[in-house]
Chain A
Amino acid sequence: MTATTVLEGLPSFVGNTRSQLKKRTLLFRYLAIINLSLGGWYLIWRTTHSINWAAWWISLPLLGAEIYGYIGAVIFIIGLWRPLVRQVKSLAQNVPNMPRSQWPTVDVFIACYNEPAEMVEKTARAALSLDYPAEKLRVYVLDDGNAPEMREMAEHLCLEDLQIPEMQSLAQRLKAEHRKSVAQKAKLEDALAVLQSKEEQEDCSDQIELQQIATLLNPQQYTLSEQVVEAIKAIKISIHQQGMALSDLARCRYIARPKPKGRPHHAKAGNINHAIFSGKTTGEFILTLDADHIPKTQFLQRVLPYFFKYNLHQGRYEANTTAFVQTPQSFYNLPADDPFCHRAALFYGPIQQGKDGLNSAFYTGTNALLRREALVTTGLQNFSQSLAQDSDRLSEFELIGGLSSCSITEDMNTAMRLHAAGWQSVYHDEILAVGLAPDDLSSTLKQRLRWAQGTLQVLQTENPLTKSGLSFWQRLQYFQTMYSYFAGFPTLVFLLCPLVYFFAGVIPVEAFGIDFVIHFLPVYLINRITLMVVVWGISAREIWRSEQYGVALFPLFIQSVLSVFFKQPLSFQVTPKQRQSGIYLKLVWPQLTLFCLLIVGVLWAGLQLTLGNISTPSTYWVNVAWSVYNISLLWSIIRASFWSPAN
């Protein structure tokens, strides 16, 4: 499971954050090198000794699939080379202490579209309860669906929030300061009147003494009355600001952007950008949350320290170059066996930690804190480039000038641009918010398709391998995610090979006998052992589920590649947050077909075996083993298609 970094009492290290290599990294590196070498040796043997040229139409694709897998493994392993485990001291416990007056202002953006108001209300309530000074926190409900119930909910919540003790005492405090300032202004005005009347009396000796005192106080200004005038001016400004603050206390606000017909709205990116540039939000940091992700109270305390470094020589905290801190996604509605593979313990675990170690942690859209300055500066840089190509884009500046709107996975693209602009990223492996995972197959597939298409969109429009500003490791990390979405094709080949043998008697490999086993088995075993070390701490069941879905989603991956590279228009399909009940066998017809064919194939060829029609039984058994493996992988998604909570 994800390691938590909340410790009893203060962690004992110098500084406020610490990062260390994950345990067993060295062991992993040794195994990885052995793994890759053995894999390379295996591939060389395959290429030179084992291609069945007579059946090149299946043996070459199979070899290609294995090479694809090997390259993928190389990139994947490099990506895990330097997994970081980070520890942090909560902001209130930072050493040296950061005075609360220096704590930055934070805006919480809750992006919603068509979710029920009760769901968003839970999230907004939790956001208002974050452990942070009330006057420095604002919560904005960004309703892209412009629903009256949502607005009503937000207004109701706002009023409720103004009644809580902390807000009441804040209001009292501000009123008291206001009263004090007004009283002070009155006193100063009285003093001014007295001074001016004294000056009119032309009492010279008094004048000179007063003048000397005045010069002592402030050498640049002449008379005492002039100084009093300045003080009155300053206090008038204070009074005005205090008045503004008092009328501006509301913490929970509702923003529904105008969506004029006929103009592109840029989906979630447009929604968030509008909030940033509308002038209604001013927080130095932005916490983006999906409508259903409920933050824990300590979220800001645990994450803010990453954005500051202590300048020892100046004795104060300064901003560093961290643009965002990403925390894991975790779900509170997962069934025990996770039929839809939402747990992502591998991604929000070794993978993100590995990316973090190479300064390429991904921003995944929710549960992350962003530095506004980084977002806007980078947004402006990219905006000016796109404006140079098309000056009409100025008219939609507030929708595209911040978060990237070039892809339906706007979060990943934004992170890439931030990295390319030189900002740092952090992955903090502590569960600080919990959300809802889709619990039906249709919603799950919609979500996965969006991730796949969006990622490939980025590959097409902003290829990380050629994008300037990224480091070599960052390029590799971004490319790795994109590369993995091409896996649908090799997977299909792997699934078809046993079928080709069962029904046509053709094998893609020269000999499936002992020679093959000697080459294949060690590689396979080392592969599994290396994987075991990587996923240490994650339950075997979860790993198996990930493996199943990695294969079972092959039609989706193929579809995403074809739809992106054949330029079909992609719409941002919002993942439904409520269960869309039904039986979805139609959605899994490719997997179901292969599943049935494999079973039939095993039985059919088994029949041939008993009839004595097969010369090398060992080949049959190898293919049976392979088929059993494939069947168990495909079963996951077939099961998911008719899964319901009652099961």
Chain B
Amino acid sequence: MSELNVVIQPEQSLDITTSESLRIKITDTLQRNVDSILIDCQHVTFMDSSGLSAMVMALKHAKEANVRLALCAVGEQAGMLFSLTGMDQIFEIFEDRAAFEKTIAQLA
């Protein structure tokens, strides 16, 4: 992927103890003048509401910086949490990186 489209891949568990570092990583990335950020969740084994709220905060910062934020490869447990909270309507969620890259190509 080009410099302008960054992928962040959080590991293991996105809960109250680890979500803050994800949010910091994203806000740091936003400082670097990127076009889009993709959060690849293929290694995320567990997400709770704190992890989800960190993502919403990240989305807020991204919107303010005019950067596109999307997710891909969301696991089953996380997927359930997204639909329970209605957040699946708020985020762009893709099957995998390829699906996201296709949309980049279409927009280009």
Contact = CB atoms under 8 A, between A and B. Distances in A.
Check if A and B associate: yes
B23 A380 contact: no
A297 B84 CA distance: 37
B35 interface: no
Interface in A357-388: 372-373, 376-377, 380-381, 383-385, 387-388
A335 to B, nearest CB: 45
Given A277-B57, A376-B49, A397-B56, A381 B84 contact: yes
Nearest to B19: A279
A380 B63 CA distance: 18
B16 A282 contact: yes
Contacts of A372: 16, 49-50
A466 to B, nearest CB: 19
A377 B60 CA distance: 18
B59 A394 contact: yes
26 contacts: A276-B53, A277-B53, A279-B19, A279-B24, A282-B17, A282-B20, A372-B16, A372-B50, A373-B50, A376-B53, A377-B49, A377-B84, A380-B49, A380-B52, A380-B53, A380-B56, A381-B86, A383-B56, A384-B85, A384-B89, A387-B90, A388-B89, A394-B56, A394-B63, A395-B63, A397-B57
A119 to B, nearest CB: 31
Nearest to A398: B57
Contacts of B90: 384, 387, 394
Tell me the interface secondary structure of chain A in the complex: helix
A284 B53 contact: no
A377 B87 CA distance: 10
Nearest to A380: B85
A381 B60 contact: no
A488 interface: no
Nearest to B86: A384
A279 B54 contact: yes
Nearest to A421: B84
Nearest to B85: A380
B92 to A, nearest CB: 14
A377 B17 CA distance: 17
Nearest to B64: A395
A380 B16 contact: no
Given A279-B54, A284-B16, A384 B87 contact: yes
B63 A377 contact: no
A601 interface: no
A39 to B, nearest CB: 45
Nearest to A394: B60
Interface in B1-43: 16-17, 19-20, 23-24
A385 B86 contact: yes
A435 interface: no
A395 B60 contact: yes
A401 interface: yes
Contact of B85 (A277, A282, A377, A394): A377
Interface in B38-94: 48-50, 52-54, 56-57, 59-60, 63-64, 81, 84-87, 89-90
Contacts of A277: 53, 57
A276 B64 CA distance: 21
A506 to B, nearest CB: 59
Contacts of B49: 372-373, 376-377, 380
A380 B86 contact: yes
Nearest to B56: A397
B96 to A, nearest CB: 24
Contacts of B63: 394-395
Contacts of A276: 53
A276 to B, nearest CB: 8
A213 to B, nearest CB: 30
A279 B20 CA distance: 6
A394 B53 CA distance: 12
Nearest to B17: A282
B78 to A, nearest CB: 13
A377 B24 CA distance: 22
Nearest to A375: B49
A376 B60 CA distance: 17
B23 to A, nearest CB: 6
A401 B54 CA distance: 11
A279 B24 CA distance: 10
B100 to A, nearest CB: 21
Q: Counting chain B CB atoms within 10 Å of each CB, which of A276, A277, A395 scores highest?
A: A277
A398 B54 CA distance: 10
Interface string A4-47: 00000000000000000000000000000000000000000000
B52 A279 contact: no
Nearest to A392: B63
A380 B59 contact: no
A147 to B, nearest CB: 27
B22 to A, nearest CB: 10
A216 to B, nearest CB: 28
Contacts of A381: 84-86
A387 B53 CA distance: 14
Nearest to B62: A394
Nearest to A396: B60
Given A372-B50, A376-B49, A394-B59, 5 more contacts: A279-B57, A282-B50, A377-B85, A381-B86, A395-B64
A237 to B, nearest CB: 12
Interface in A222-278: 276-277
Contacts of A385: 86
A276 B48 CA distance: 14
Nearest to B54: A279
A401 B56 CA distance: 10
Contacts of A383: 56
Contacts of B81: 377
A279 B23 contact: yes
Contacts of A377: 49, 81, 84-85
Most buried by A among B16, B53, B60, B84: B53
A263 to B, nearest CB: 13
Closest 10 CB pairs of A and B: A384-B86, A376-B49, A380-B85, A279-B20, A377-B49, A282-B16, A381-B85, A397-B60, A394-B60, A373-B49
Nearest to A395: B60
Contacts of B16: 282, 284, 372
Select the residue from B23, B52, B57 with max chain A CB neighbours within 10 A: B57
A243 to B, nearest CB: 15
Interface string A390-422: 000011011001000000000000000000000
Contact of B87 (A282, A284, A380, A398): A380
A376 B57 contact: no
B25 to A, nearest CB: 12
A280 to B, nearest CB: 9
A484 to B, nearest CB: 33
A376 B89 contact: no
A252 to B, nearest CB: 20
